[in-house]
Every structure is written in structure tokens, then in C-alpha cells.
Structure 1
Amino acid sequence: MSWFEPSFMYQVYPLGLCGAPYENDGVVVHRLRKLIDDGWIDHMKKLGVTCLILNPVFESTSHGYDTSDYTKVDCRLGENQDLADVVAACHEQGIKVLLDGVFNHVGRDFWAFKDVQEKRWDSVYAGWFEIDWNGNNEWNDGFSYSTWQGVPYLIKLNHNCFDLNNYLADVIRDWERDFDIDGLRLDVAYCLDRGFLGYLRRIANELSEKRGDKFLLLGETMFGDYNQWMGDELCDTVTNYECYKGLWSSMNSSNMHEVAYALERQSGSHPWDLYTGKHLLDFVDNHDVPRIATQLDDKKQLKPLYGLLFGMAGVPCVYYGSEWGIKGEQKFGDHELRPALDAPEWNDLTDWIAQLAQARAKSKSIVWGSYEQLQVAPQQLVFKRAFEDERVIVAVNASSEKATVHFDAQCGRGTDLISGVEHDFGGGSELEPCSVCYWICE
């Protein structure tokens, strides 16, 4: 167990939220301080957030994932001291901070690649990339190179090169020393060489020992068996895209069996369950997918959806602005998914999410407990989470009408951790429209 399991994550795409120009104009503007000055950190504290995930903050050409310098905060966001101040302000509020580690690829303006462009095979950094000296490219470099998913300006790094890996290890050590960060989100971890992931694990363990606290590695994964990238020698945890799809799709199709199958497959008590006790990162949207308020056909289902997110196995993560229901389509450039926002807002959805966070924080069963499905219907799902001597029943009603659910609670009464209302399990349990209850058994 570490600080991660009971945490509530909050994701911010800084270049978007802070209103930076899409292309790097070379002008230093201290936009990152917006997180402090415009009340975003106070907002996170009020919401119940315990860890902030910052998407790319280091110098890049455009969207942050085309890094040009790992050692310098992007001038569109400010300077290194601005990042140090943001992390310190978060820590003062009890909020840990993860940075986005973009180690699979860099941009064409990356300083070592520019040295290769100038000196070609005589560059001491030529081995940092997968280069074909007999090829060429659209920029007429006189050579070609491996890329990330065919994107020509995202140049794949060669992690068979020990000099490169040692350089990146020093970068991570410097980030921890200079900014006091608590871990990393590893971008496209599913593309990273497992040997390199193991090397990062050793660096993370070194930093954990130094800090006396977990230095977390959160891997971005999308498909396949997540155990490929997760374990004692790899990432601590990974992104749960499997349940992401099931969460919203179950609501839209009135088919709660879809997400129930995923939850049972991932976290149940069967021998074939894949991730029991491994605390995947759960989410309903992020900087790469449509905003959940756009994705859902019926916006009244936002509350039961978030109730399910905070009640299921794993660690919940909320994407900035979605807690009050902003919308955003996925289009070229993803600008709608990563908008500039002024100050944070608060409405009944935000208030509901804060209540869910408080309820989850009260329950060791919801944080660490087992998962047992009790009832599933087209628009209702009931399951039990249990840990040591505590049992909590999570009941979800995605219908716009009241529903009665029947299950063996194995106790006579309970109290809803969200509302504080006592409940008698005899004769069936009635659920309000588009509602969730976390009943702790008495």
C-alpha cells in the first residue's frame, strides 16, 4: 500500500488550460502560475483531489509531445521556477504532483536531433535515434528515421542506446530534485521497450528510497493485457481504457452488462481475473477522448456515471472542467478537448463529485476492497466491495425512473456514505432516478 491507492487524481493539460499559443512563439509568459493565481489548486483541494497529473510542461514545438528540451519549462508556460512554485503550492494543500514523461519520441527541434542534422553520423547523439542513412524524408534531411505511429515530426528514441537511457535517468532525477515531483505519467507506455520500463522502475525505486515515499510510475496503456506493462519491475499502475469504454457505452446503450463484464473480468474473485488488487487508473474522459458531457446521450446520467467511477475498483481521475460538465468534440488538433479556461467553476455536478470523493475517502472497502457483483440489469448495477471487517454495497441506477433492486445484502441495515441516510435492506432497495448509493453495512 502507498499514497496512490486512496488517491483521487485530477488531470490538467497546461498548454490548453493556460491559453498558450499552439505553436511555440519563443516568448516567455508565466501562464503556468494561473494554477495558483486563479484558484485552481484551491479548487482541487475543495473537490477532494489528492494528486495532480500535469500533461507536458517542458519546451516543445507545439502540443507538448514534440519535446525540444527536457530541462526547460516551455516558455509559453513560463520558467522552471514557475513549475517549482506550482508543485510547492500543491504540496501545501496536500496534493501530490505527477509530470508527463514523454520518453518514446521527441520533436524535430530536440537539441540532440538538431546535432544529428548538422553532423550526421559523426554526431555523438546519432545512436539516440533509429536512423536509416540511406533514406530521406519530406524535410530532405538526407536520412530517414523511425517515428511514433508514422507521425513524421515525432522522432522515435532508440532505447537500445545506454547513453540515451542514462541521459533520461538524469533528467528524471533532476525533475525530482528541482521540482519535488511525486512521480511520472509515462506517455504511450505501451510503445516503450520493456527493458527500458524496467530501467525506469529501478530509477523510481531509487527515488522512492531517497524520498521515503512512493515515486509513482503511471503508464499510459490502451489495449491488450495490462500486465505486460505493470508489476514490481515495471509500472505501478496503468490507464484503464477497457473500462473507460464500458462506462459511457453502458449508459448510452442501456446495457449495464457491458461494464459489469469488464469489472468482473478485471477485479472479481475468479482465478482468471486479471488485475485484482492492482488499482488501475479509472476515468471517463481525458485530453485524448471526447468530453464525457459530449459522449453521453443523456446528461442526467453524468451523476450515476461518476458514482460508478468512484465506487469501482481502482483510482478515479477527473479531467479539468469535466467536473462541472463542459463539452468538447474530438477533432483535428484536439483543441476542443484541451480548452483555455479562466477560473474553475462549481455547480451541482461538481458538488456531487466532491461528495463522492469524501465518501470514498471514508471507506477502506472502496479503496482496497474486493469486488463481488450482486445484481445487473439493463440500467442498474449492484456490487459489493469488502475489506477486512467492512462491507460497502454500491448501487447504481442509470434510469430516469425509480428502480427497485433485489440482492442479498447479508445485513439488515446500512448507511449511505454519500448522503448519510440510513437504509433498510428488507423487501428490496429503491433507488432514485439517475442515482448512486454507497451503503456501508451495519
Structure 2
Amino acid sequence: MIVWPESAVWWQVYPLGFTGAPASASPGEPVAHRLRGLEPWLDYLAGLGCTGLALGPVFASETHGYDTVDHFRIDPRLGDEGDFDRLVAALRERGLRLLLDGVFNHVGRGFPVFRRALEGDPEAARWFRRTGDDPAGGYATFEGHHALVALNHAEPAVAAHVEAVLSHWLDRGADGWRLDAAYAVPPGFWRRVLPPVRARHPGAWFAGEMIHGDYASYVAESGLDSVTQYELWKAIWSSLNDRNLFELAWALDRHDAFAEKFLPLTFVGNHDVTRIATRLDDPRHLGHALAILFTVAGTPAVYYGDERAMEGVKEDRPGGDDAIRPPFPAVPFAGSPPEAHTLHRELIALRRANPWLARARTEVLHLTNEAMAYASAAGDRRLTVLLNTADTPYAFPGGLGTVAAHSWSVVPG
């Protein structure tokens, strides 16, 4: 078992947006060393209490980073391999870890092997899935996106390529991988690819993106260490908006079942969803959402800007991600931090002071539509969380305490 993720708290950054890189790559353009712009923010990350940087796609791509054309090259819009090495060194100096983001379900149409396939190379053609049974038919795409060509995970050359990519960047200093669109990849593919990578890097951590499906079965069949916990994400904001904490109770019961099998990657915001500060109907409930995130099992991640209650809506249109993937200034923010930042810092400190929470089990002690008490415990260690979303104070039974309207508290023991 890999132990270090149990004490990890990630700060997730989408680097193309964070650094203000152009939306599309321009062949022949000189390298722009934007990746260095992350270095001044590492002390900010550490000051927040996070233990590592979960870095979005940095490999050469055509547009948004998930249409990769070269897995072994840093996107010239961000820099080069030297810039990557500098970032790794800067992280190490601060005792911080690095989680990379790689998509191995599909590639961009400019991927060299796909170009050879289009030119009639039969060996190259085997790298990609076909539509229908006709081997001369068209190439399958990811969820209907023409620019994203689906890889054929039954092809040994694809497995060898992915194994080589994973190992290459772990060799260069990464601590693990977030595997984008893992839900679209047959779990047996990871079961073949990961063992030789783990043999070289036994401490590496692999978390797959799962939006839907049977999380626990996928982890068991794939050999991954973790998957993203979208069920909990949805239940947190939805139950707070609807003042229906029965939904949250149901999700926490599901979450407990997952946590018995693996260490979920938990979050209330990421690069693919509307910002939590926008999603919540009542801004007074941001603390409730964060209290839940940091007091239940899993490895939590904070999406950059959420710690400042930044807003942004995810839209289903070209450019619809821009609002949730904004540029950050060249130097960290000055002046007194906003309330959301202080709240994040305090709850992350609570989490790091109680690392056993990563493996805790959660029991609901009291439940109404608008109020909930639950205990997270491991062995003889225990925290009790009181949530009140009502417009009036709520007195919890059993001597648990009274909580003000639209407030929450965490009680040791």
C-alpha cells in the first residue's frame, strides 16, 4: 500500500489557463517559458497548507491539452523540458509532490502515428479504434469529438507507448498520475500497463477520472489506486442547494463503501465543472461544503481559485471552459486574504493535524432536511461535524450542541 497519499492535499492547476497561454498551438512558434510562472505560486500553495501540485496537461497538444500530439514533449506554449525540471526542483525544495495529468484514451488528430494511419500505414492504423466492424471504416472518436481520436487499447504497441510515457515522467520527478477519461478505457488495459511501471516506481500513485460507473469494481479490475469521487461532489452542492441533507447522508454511506476498497480523490471543484462558489445558491454554505470535503475519507484536492471563492460557469460550447480556467497574476495576491482563503487554510490545517481522516469511516448521528450531525472515526480517533443550513439556529439532540443559522462546527471527540 502506498501511504503518502493519505496525508496529501492537492492544489489543482490547469496550466494553460493559469499561465494565460494561447488557446491553440501555432506550429513553428518559439517556446514560451510560461511554466516558470508557477514557481512564485509554490509558497502560496504551501502556505495554504497543500502538500502537492496536481498539474493539468503540460504535454504538446493542439488546443486545450487533452488533444495530445506528443506525450514526451512539454507544450511549447508552456515551455520545455528544462522548465519542467526547474518546476520539479522547486517543488522538491519545499517538500511538495507533483501529480501529472495524462489522457491515454485518445489523442489529437496531429498525433504522428495517427497521421501515418491516415496515410495508409497498417501498423499505425492498429493504434486506433474503428467505427463498426469494417477495418476500412472511419476512426472512432471520444464522445463524438472529431478532434479526439480514440486509441485501440487492445493493441500492444499502445500499451507499450503508455507504459513508456508514464515511466518517463516519473523518472523525471513526478509522484503520480491523474489518468483522464479513465472511465472510457477498459480496466484490463491498466492491469497490463501498470505493473512494469510500478516495478520501477513502487511509490507512484495512479488516480483515474471516473464520472460515472462502478467505482470500486473499476479500481479492483484496473489496479488503479484511486478514482475521482464525482458522486460525493454532486451530493455536496446539490444537498446544500436543496436543503435536502438526506441526499448527502446517502452519498456518505456510498462514500464509506468506496473508502473500504480504495482511497477516493475528493473535491468540490475542478477544471471541468462550474465553480463551487457559483454552484452554491447561498454563499453562506461554502463552509459547509468545505467542512464535508476535509472531514471525510479520501485525498482532497482544491482547484485553484476556489480558495478565493472565485466564480465561473462551465458551458457546453466552444470556449465554454474559459471562465473556470482563468489566468492568475504573475505574483501571488497581496493584502489580507478573503474569508474563503482563511476557511480553506483552517480546514486544511485540521485535516493535516488529523491525517487518519483519509481512512475514516463516517456515521450519521442525526439527520433532518436542513441539519445533520455525523462522526468521522478511525480506531479511537473521532471528529463530529454539525451542519445547519436552516434560517434559524438548530439545537442538536444528545448534547451535541447548538449551531447558528447557516453555520457549521467541527467538534473533537
115 and 232 in structure 1: CA distance in 2 versus 1, 3 angstrom threshold: closer
Deviation of the 1:367 alpha carbon: 2.7
Q: How does 1:5-44 map to 2 (within 5 A)?
A: 5-26=6-27, 27=29, 28-36=31-39, 39-44=40-45
Q: Report the Cα distance in structure 2 between the residues aligned to 1:231 and 1:205, rounded to whole angstroms.
A: 16
Deviations 1:104-126 (A, max 9, x none): 000011011112223x134x322
Number of equivalences: 403
Residue 170 of structure 2 corresponds to 176
Kindly indicate whether residue 159 of structure 2 is the aligned counterpart of residue 165 of structure 1. Answer: yes
SS of 1:4's equivalent in the other structure is: helix
The counterpart of 2:196, out of the listed 191, 197, 203, is: 203
Contact residue 364 and residue 390 of structure 1 kept, 8 A:
no
Q: Report the Cα distance in structure 2 between the residues aligned to 1:304 and 1:232, rounded to whole angstroms.
A: 34
Q: How does 1:71-150 map to 2 (within 5 A)?
A: 71-118=72-119, 120-122=120-122, 124-131=123-130, 144-150=138-144
SS of 1:230's equivalent in the other structure is: helix
SS of 1:336's equivalent in the other structure is: helix
Kindly indicate whether residue 326 of structure 2 is the aligned counterpart of residue 339 of structure 1. Answer: yes
Deviation of the 1:401 alpha carbon: 3.7
Deviation of the 1:431 alpha carbon: 1.6
- AA matched with 1:217: F
90 and 266 in structure 1: CA distance in 2 versus 1, 3 angstrom threshold: same
CA RMSD of aligned residues (A): 2.1
Name whichever of 64-73 and 200-209 sits farther off. 200-209
* Long gaps (5+) in structure 1: 137-141, 268-272, 408-426
SS of 1:63's equivalent in the other structure is: coil
Q: How does 1:28-427 map to 2 (within 5 A)?
A: 28-36=31-39, 39-118=40-119, 120-122=120-122, 124-131=123-130, 144-178=138-172, 180-209=173-202, 214-231=203-220, 234-267=223-256, 273-276=257-260, 278-331=262-315, 332=317, 333=319, 334-342=321-329, 343-345=331-333, 346-407=337-398, 427=399
Contact residue 167 and residue 197 of structure 2 kept, 8 A:
no
Deviation of the 1:50 alpha carbon: 1.1
Contact residue 104 and residue 188 of structure 1 kept, 8 A:
yes
Deviation of the 1:370 alpha carbon: 2.0
Kindly indicate whether residue 402 of structure 2 is the aligned counterpart of residue 438 of structure 1. Answer: no
TM-score by length of 2: 0.92
Contact residue 109 and residue 147 of structure 2 kept, 8 A:
yes
- Taking every aligned residue pair, what percent have the same amino acid on both sides? 35
Residue 421 of structure 1 corresponds to none
Contact residue 216 and residue 262 of structure 2 kept, 8 A:
no
- AA matched with 2:277: A
Compare CA radii of gyration and give the structure with the larger one. Answer: 1
Contact residue 191 and residue 223 of structure 2 kept, 8 A:
yes
SS of 2:200's equivalent in the other structure is: helix
Contact residue 207 and residue 215 of structure 1 kept, 8 A:
no
Deviation of the 1:222 alpha carbon: 1.1
Q: Report the Cα distance in structure 1 between the residues aligned to 2:393 and 2:281, rounded to whole angstroms.
A: 19
390 and 134 in structure 1: CA distance in 2 versus 1, 3 angstrom threshold: closer
* Long gaps (5+) in structure 2: none
Q: Report the Cα distance in structure 2 between the residues aligned to 1:434 and 1:7, rounded to whole angstroms.
A: 29
SS of 1:125's equivalent in the other structure is: helix
SS of 1:168's equivalent in the other structure is: helix
